[in-house]
Structure 1
Amino acid sequence: MRHVTVRMTAQGIDPEHAYRRISDFSRYPQLTTTVRAVEVQPPRPDGSVVSEWTVSFRNGLMRWTERDTFSPATLSIAFEQLSGDFETFQGSWACEAHPDGTTVTFRAAFDLGIPTLAEILDPVAESTLRTNIEKILQGLLGTVSPADFVDAVHG
């Protein structure tokens, strides 16, 4: 399984405001061309939601459905794919106070489920995921420079 971590600092944005922006999945397609569509279902009794995603991936599209668990008290979101193009896709978003604003951390673990092509496809998927998250954060928070990003972690 591959692991990706992207961390950036949103200048002049408080953690609660950053969390609200990141939590508003249905707005993602309006803010970045990377996300083509997100359909968010009404909250479940436990407060989690199911969301359906279509995201640009190289010269095509990736689609999946995930369960999202929001934790406003900790300014974090956990997600886990329920079905879709990945074999496994899970991770989290977290917002933490930083002297200059908010540090936003995205973590994900994924497996494309094609072991014979993993050495070729996984690095491409990892790079694309990292680039897509950078674009999403720039669209959501607008005050991001490439130097703020952390490269992927292999696992």
Structure 2
Amino acid sequence: MPHVVLHALADAVDPAEAYRRISDFRRYPEFTDTVREVSVEPPLPDGSTLSDWTVLFRGGLMRWRERDTYAPDTHSLAFEQITGDFQSFSGSWRCEPHGPGTRVVFTASFDLGIPTLAEILDPVAASTLRHLIGEIVKGLLGAEVTDESADTSRD
């Protein structure tokens, strides 16, 4: 399954503030044309939320619903697709202290569910995801991606 990891540094933002901004999914469309819409439902009894996403991909729209689980004590959150256009999509955000600011770590694994086209589509999807997350962290935090990697091999 393809796996994407990005690191970004936000020198002027502390981890708690970075986490607060990253957790505000509704703002993501402000920072990239790729994210067309995000709606977030009120928190469930366990504190998690359900969010619906519409994202531009290869000239079309991808849609999914995910469960977002928040861990404010560790400045991290996890997400997992419940329904949608991916076969599977899950990952996490983590905001950790780094000097006077914050290192943001984003990870995601996905399966587009089209094994015959995986060799072609997986690298494109990974590249799109890296670009999208880079735009979001730059817009939300003034951060620049410092390290990125993608493993698009199939498990």
TM-score tier, shorter chain, comes to over 0.9
CA RMSD of aligned residues (A): 1.2
Residue matched to 1:150: 148
In the TM superposition, residue 138 of structure 1 has moved relative to its aligned partner by 1.1
Residue matched to 1:62: 62
Q: Is 1:134 equivalent to 2:131 in the alignment? A: no
The whole-number CA distance in structure 2 between the counterparts of 1:120 and 1:141 is 32
Q: List aligned pairs for 1:56-135, cutoff 5 A.
A: 56-135=56-135
1:42 alignment partner, SS class: coil
Q: Is contact 2:37–2:53 with CA below 8 Å preserved after alignment?
A: yes
Q: Is 1:8 equivalent to 2:20 in the alignment? A: no
Q: Is contact 2:14–2:100 with CA below 8 Å preserved after alignment?
A: no
Residue matched to 1:20: 20
Q: Is contact 2:8–2:143 with CA below 8 Å preserved after alignment?
A: no
Instruction: Work out the percentage of aligned pairs sharing the same amino acid.
Output: 61
Q: Is contact 1:134–1:149 with CA below 8 Å preserved after alignment?
A: no
1:151 alignment partner, SS class: strand
Amino acid aligned to 2:120: I
Q: Is contact 1:4–1:126 with CA below 8 Å preserved after alignment?
A: yes
Residue deviations 1:18-52, cap 9 Å, x none?
00000011111123322110000010011100000
Q: Which runs of 4+ in 1 moved over 3 A?
A: none
* TM-score for the superposition, normalised by structure 1: 0.94
Any unmatched runs of 5+ in structure 2?
Answer: none
The whole-number CA distance in structure 2 between the counterparts of 1:34 and 1:154 is 21
Q: Is contact 1:40–1:51 with CA below 8 Å preserved after alignment?
A: yes
In the TM superposition, residue 152 of structure 1 has moved relative to its aligned partner by 1.6
Q: List aligned pairs for 1:38-49, cutoff 5 A.
A: 38-49=38-49
Any unmatched runs of 5+ in structure 1?
Answer: none
Q: Is contact 2:95–2:104 with CA below 8 Å preserved after alignment?
A: yes
* TM-score for the superposition, normalised by structure 2: 0.94
Count matched residues. Answer: 153
Q: Is contact 1:58–1:128 with CA below 8 Å preserved after alignment?
A: no
